[in-house]
Amino acid sequence: MRDQRLFALKIARELRNAAIEGVLAHSENVNRINAAAVAEERGIRLHESKVENGSAASGMSVTLHTRGGETTATATVLHGRLPRLLASDGIDIEVPLHGTLIAIRNHDVPGVIGRLGTVLGEHQVNIANFALGRGTESTAKDGVGGAIAVVQVDGEITPAVIAALEAIEAVTRVRLVKLPPLP
């Protein structure tokens, strides 16, 4: 049990650092190892709190406050070794958190799933996992669609793939997320 708890803490630290790295992605010399130190040097405030809930799962929420608004993600570690995204901006979705992910916000209209799969197939991108979340009117943000798809893929994603996904009419935002593989 102690080993599982230590692994869960390591995953939580990696998730925190990956989130910071993503926020600072356009800065030079930022990586998952030094992300927290770079954030501190730049005066970015980090607030962490841990809540013991007595369950086997460890969970965390990350909220990013920027001039453009607020973004929140909730994640957990199942069985002490399997990190999972549980929600993004109030939309429930269950996604493995490892490898290469494409997070897509879209309007909840027919045909989006098929078009996403077609675009990825046309670019020879293999889908390892495809997760969907459907929000409500209250989860739509400033005209950004109330649905989310997170696609876990094999291999590298080129800027051409991202551009093709962004060109889909119902898609409002595409983000590439690269996480370490599971040990």
3-state secondary structure of 177: strand
- Give the SS3 label for residue 38: helix
**H helix and E strand count, the chain:** 4, 8
Do the beta carbons of residue 69 and residue 105 sit within 8 Å? no
CA–CA separation, 106 and 117 (whole Å): 14
Q: Give the residue from 105, 84, 81, 104 showing the smallest Cα distance to 94.
A: 84
- Could you state, in order of their start, the residue ranges of all structural domains in the chain? 1-88, 99-183
Using one digit for the tens of pLDDT, what is the confidence trace for 48-88? Answer: 665 555 554 557 777 777 777 778 888 877 776 788 889 98
pLDDT of residue 50: 59
Mean pLDDT of 99-119: 94
pLDDT over 70 (residue 140): no
Q: What is the average pLDDT across 2-24?
A: 70
Confidence of residue 2 (pLDDT cuts 50, 70, 90): low
The predicted-structure confidence for 129-139, as pLDDT tens digits, reads as follows: 999 999 876 55
Q: What is the pLDDT of residue 116?
A: 97
Helix (H) or strand (E) holding 21: helix 2-23
Label each residue of 107-157 as H, E or C.
Answer: CCCCCHHHHHHHHHHHCCCCEEEEEEEECCHHHCECCECCEEEEEEECCCC
Does domain 99-183 correspond to CATH entry 3.40.50.300? no
Residue carrying the six token digits 């876990």: 152
Region 32-37: what's the mean pLDDT? 83
